[in-house]
Chain A
Amino acid sequence: MSSSTVSIPSTHYLNNGTTLKSWLLTKDHKRIGLLYLAAVTFFFMLGGAFAVAIRLELVTPAGDLLSDANYNKAFTLHGVIMVFFFLIPAIPSVLGNFLIPLMIGAKDLAFPKLNLLSFYIYFVGSLFTMYAMVSGGLDTGWTFYTPFSTVASTTAVVPAALGIFINGFSGILTGLNFIVTIHRMRAPGMTWFRLPLFVWSHYATSLIQVLGTPVLAITIVLVAAERIFGFGLFNPAVGGDPVLFQHLFWFYSHPAVYIMILPAMGIVSELIAAFSRKQVFGYGFVAFASIGIAVIGFLVWGHHMFVSGESVYAALVFSFLSFLVAIPSAVKVFNWTATMYKGSLSWEIPMLYAVGFIGLFAIGGLTGLFLASIGLDVHLTDTYFIIAHFHYVMVGGTIMAYLGGLHFWWPKITGRMYNRTLGKFSAALVFVGFNLTFFPQFVLGYLGMPRRYHAYPDEFQVLNVLSSAGASVLAVGYLLPLFYFALSLKYGEIAGDNPWGAVGLEWNTTSPPPTENFPVTPVVTWDAYEYPTPVEGHVV
Chain B
Amino acid sequence: MRSGTIPLFPEAASTMASRVDGLYFFLVGLTAFFTILIAVLIAVFMVKYKRRTPNEIGARIHGAMALEIIWSVIPLLICFGIFAWATDIFLAMSRPPAETMNVYVVGKQWMWKFQHLDGQREINELHVPVGRPVKLIMTSEDVIHDVSVPAFRVKADVIPGRYSHLWFEATKAGEYHLFCAEYCGTRHSGMVGRVVVMEPDDYQAWLAGGVQEGSLASSGGKLFQDLACNTCHRPDAQGRGPVLQNLFGKQVSLESGETVVVDEAYIRESILMPRTKVTAGFQPIMPTFQGLVSEEGLLELIEYVKSLKTDSQVQAVRPNTGGPAANENTPAQTPPSRN
Minimum CB–CB distance for A77 against chain B, Å = 14
- 1/0 per position for B1-22, CB-CB distance to A under 8 A? 1111111111000000001100
Minimum CB–CB distance for B54 against chain A, Å = 4
Minimum CB–CB distance for B156 against chain A, Å = 5
- 1/0 per position for A294-310, CB-CB distance to B under 8 A? 00000000000011111
Segment at the interface with A among B160-168, B197-205, B221-229, B252-260: B160-168
In the complex formed, the residue of A with least CB distance to B157 is A308
- 1/0 per position for A338-375, CB-CB distance to B under 8 A? 10111111110000000100110011001101101111
Complex contact A450–B180 (CB within 8 A):
yes
Complex contact B109–A152 (CB within 8 A):
yes
Chain B neighbourhood of A319, CB < 8 A: 83, 86-87, 90
Known pairs A282-B67, A283-B63, A341-B49 / 11 extra A-B pairs, C-beta < 8 Å: A68-B187, A145-B143, A278-B57, A282-B68, A337-B42, A343-B45, A347-B50, A355-B46, A443-B8, A447-B150, A453-B188
Given contacts A242-B160, A307-B156, A463-B6, contact A277 B89 (CB under 8 A): no
- 1/0 per position for B30-63, CB-CB distance to A under 8 A? 1100110011011001100111101111111111
Chain B neighbourhood of A355, CB < 8 A: 42, 46
Complex contact B335–A373 (CB within 8 A):
no
Complex contact B90–A340 (CB within 8 A):
no
A267-B54 Cα distance, complex, nearest whole Å: 23
Given contacts A319-B83, A375-B23, contact A345 B188 (CB under 8 A): no
In the complex formed, the residue of A with least CB distance to B22 is A376
A312-B156 Cα distance, complex, nearest whole Å: 13
Q: 8 Å CB contacts to B: which residues of A406-461?
A: 443, 446-448, 450-461
Chain B neighbourhood of A8, CB < 8 A: none
- 1/0 per position for B78-120, CB-CB distance to A under 8 A? 0110110111111111100000000000000100000000000
Interface pairs A-B: 3 shortest CB-CB: A448-B150, A375-B89, A236-B161
Q: 8 Å CB contacts to A: which residues of B262-301?
A: 273
Complex contact A501–B54 (CB within 8 A):
yes
A285-B54 Cα distance, complex, nearest whole Å: 30
A331-B109 Cα distance, complex, nearest whole Å: 46
Given contacts A277-B57, A367-B31, contact A459 B7 (CB under 8 A): yes
Between A and B, 10 residue pairs with Cβ closer than 8 Å are A63-B189, A145-B143, A276-B58, A277-B56, A312-B90, A345-B45, A370-B24, A376-B23, A382-B181, A443-B6
Complex contact A534–B57 (CB within 8 A):
yes
Chain B neighbourhood of A52, CB < 8 A: none
Q: Indicate whether B312 reaches chain A with its CB closer than 8 angstroms.
A: no
Chain B neighbourhood of A307, CB < 8 A: 146, 155-157
A306-B87 Cα distance, complex, nearest whole Å: 12
Chain B neighbourhood of A462, CB < 8 A: 3-6
Point out the residue from B42, B93, B186, B332 that lies within 8 Å of A378, measured CB to CB.
Answer: B93
Complex contact A309–B49 (CB within 8 A):
no
A354-B19 Cα distance, complex, nearest whole Å: 37
Complex contact B7–A152 (CB within 8 A):
no
Complex contact A381–B155 (CB within 8 A):
yes
Point out the residue from A239, A242, A373, A382 that lies within 8 Å of B83, measured CB to CB.
Answer: A373
Given contacts A237-B160, A326-B79, A366-B34, contact A375 B189 (CB under 8 A): no
In the complex formed, the residue of A with least CB distance to B109 is A152
Q: Indicate whether A141 reaches chain B with its CB closer than 8 angstroms.
A: yes
Q: Indicate whether A327 reaches chain B with its CB closer than 8 angstroms.
A: yes
Complex contact B61–A281 (CB within 8 A):
yes
Segment at the interface with A among B69-77, B127-135, B320-328: B69-77
A389-B89 Cα distance, complex, nearest whole Å: 22
A463-B6 Cα distance, complex, nearest whole Å: 7
Point out the residue from A141, A337, A378 that lies within 8 Å of B155, measured CB to CB.
Answer: A378
